[in-house]
Structure 1
C-alpha cells in the first residue's frame, strides 16, 4: 500500500455556523455541503474539512470527538507580512510568531492563532524572508 495524500479531516465544533463564518472570512475557505444529510465542510485546494456539530455527530466518528482539540497547519503562498496584516484586519490575535518551524518540505515561517473553538491554527510559508 502507498498512501498518496489526505482527502479530508473532520473537526467537531460547538457552532457550525460560527466555524464556517470564521474560516471563510479569515482563511478564504469555501463552505460546501457534505453528504446526503446536509452536513457542511470547508474546501480549499484539493482538501476538505468536514464539520460535525458537537452532540449531533454521525454514528461513525472519532472515539472522543471534542471541540478545540485540533491543531492544523495551512501552507500559504503569501509573504508573512501580508498574512500578519490580514490577521490584524480580521481582528485575529496571533498567539505566537512569526517563528521558524520544520515542516514536511523543510524550513517554514509560521504564525499561530486560535479558531472559535480554541483549535490551534498555524499558517506557514515556505517563501524565503523578503
Structure 2
C-alpha cells in the first residue's frame, strides 16, 4: 500500500486511503485518488507450503471535478503503476497487472458532485 501511494504521489496526485476526508470544512481538490487495498493472500511458493509469496488486489478510485478530470487521474494512475516495479524493502515486486474497471460515473451524493472511475490492480511480490 505504501509503495502504491508513493508511486501515485510521485505523479503529483493527492492520495487518500479508504475514502476521502469527510470532516466539516474539508474542501476537496479538483482531482485526487483513493486507495482501497484488500488484505491480500499469502501464497505457497512451493509444495513445502512455505507461504512467502504475496498476492493482492488494490482498487484505486480516480476522482475529478468533471469527467475529463477523472479520466486524467486514471491516466496518471496508469502511468504511475506502469513506470517501474513497486519498491518494497525485502521483496521483489512483479509489475502491477491492470484489471480495468467500470465506466466513469457521477456521484451526486456529494456537494459539489464529482466524477469517479475505479481502476483495479493485481499486485504480487516474492521474497528478495
Q: So what's the TM-score if we normalise by structure 1?
A: 0.32
Larger Rg: 2
